[in-house]
Amino acid sequence: MSAYKSDFLQTLAARGFIHQVSDAEGLDAKAAACPITAYVGFDATAPSLHIGNLLTIMMLRWLQKTGHRPISLMGGGTSKIGDPSGKDTSRALLTSAQIDINIASIRSVFSRFLDFGASAVMANNADWLDQLHYIPFLRDVGRHFTINKMLTFDSVKIRLDREQPLTFLEFNYMILQAYDFVELHKRHGCILQMGGSDQWGNIISGIDLGRRLLNTELFALTTPLLTTSSGAKMGKTETGAVWLNADTMSPYEYWQFWRNCEDGDVGRLLKLFTELPLDEIGRLSALRDQELNEAKKILATEATALLHGRQAAEQAAETARRTFEEGELADTLPTVGISCAKLEAGLGVLAAFVEVGLVSSNGEARRQIKGGGLKVNDVTIADEKMVLTLRDLTPQEVIKLSLGRKRHVLLKPV
């Protein structure tokens, strides 16, 4: 559907969020007529969400900004199973206590993007899933699902095609997700579930279940897969995932992730992960060569401000400017403490880079050294057997470790 009437779908379409909609005309008519309620589910399988989750968080934000009610559904119940979508192996099973700790850890992220003092709702599917009785649930809900159809879903089909085992526990995930949609409709009048493109089959199952159990019309909306212009899956750095919690990835590192994006991705990322006006984004996207770096800095600062606040974003931008443009050893670079005794005894350079998180293993550190990618105090490392000691401390009493031109960590004796 090319022309939407509702501000909500107009905004999502113009900014590139929409991949599929189950009934675009019907959903658009409802969103244009009155406020609607929509949700996105987030399983708490780690203490922090990652950048892949940010795409749907931004959709919830635009939903609220255009006058509707968003629900962030925490998977206190479904996290005990783990979504098999896109996975070759089963997730590690978490205890209820671990899941509660993870939910508490990631809760603060949503308050940056949604106004819970206004219309936004945070729900937890453990409130109803933990109360289910097995036999009544199978009779009332399970009978509406056929094995034939479930085997066609990508989350199942891909695992089986790769000849990887799929447990009966994981096989139930799509039924529970469908039931979440029905339960949220009963509790909050929710009519729309949004998610990544890999969730399409699960969401459609919820729509079908709502029709069968409640004789009601529900809707699905999914986003495109987040990839770079070169075709790689976006959201990974040299050392792993791009996390949203500040204690997992510092605002400076988060800022650097956006600053280091590929040239061809700047315009799309500005649309998806900032709130800059589209005409301004068009102007920035048209910049070329060195001028495009200024657009990347704006992207980094605006995206970081949404998650960590304007002050943290501007501090990260200033740290980068002082480090790269003035060559200073900025005191706001990420810092990792190390015992004086350990440094006095001598710390191998490979172990040092692993310890601060710039590389994931000694082998990766060796490969970086061979390519000239690692530096100590701005001097390229030539010898992988180099040992860091107290003699390597700068006048600021730190040792600066660098991966390439963009990533730096200060090693500080404590």
Q: In the predicted model, is pLDDT for residue 255 greater than 70?
A: yes
Rounded to the nearest 5°, which phi and psi values hold at 280?
-70, -40
pLDDT number for residue 315: 92
Distance CA 296, CA 236 (A): 18
pLDDT category of residue 269 using cuts at 50, 70 and 90: very high
Q: Encode pLDDT of 271-326 as tens digits.
A: 999 999 999 999 999 999 889 989 999 999 999 999 999 999 999 999 888 776 55
**Best CA proximity match to 75, nearest among 51, 118, 46, 52:** 46
Angle between helices 200-214 and 154-161 (to 10 degrees): 130
For the chain, report the end-to-end CA distance as a whole number of angstroms: 60
Q: Taking the complete model, does pTM exceed 0.95, yes or no? A: no
Angle between helices 51-65 and 266-273 (to 10 degrees): 60
**Alpha-carbon distances of 218 from 16, 79, 164, 182, 206, rounded to whole Å:** 23, 24, 33, 9, 8
Residue 189's SS3 state is: coil
**Residues 176-180, mean pLDDT to the nearest whole number:** 95
Q: What percentage of the chain carries pLDDT values higher than 90? A: 56
Distance CA 82, CA 181 (A): 17
- Contact present, 248 and 47 (Cβ < 8 Å): yes
Distance CA 123, CA 76 (A): 9
Lowest-confidence region among 123-132, 179-188, 225-234: 225-234
Question: Using CB atoms within 10 A of its CB, is residue 188 exposed (0-12), middle (13-18) or buried (19+)?
Answer: middle
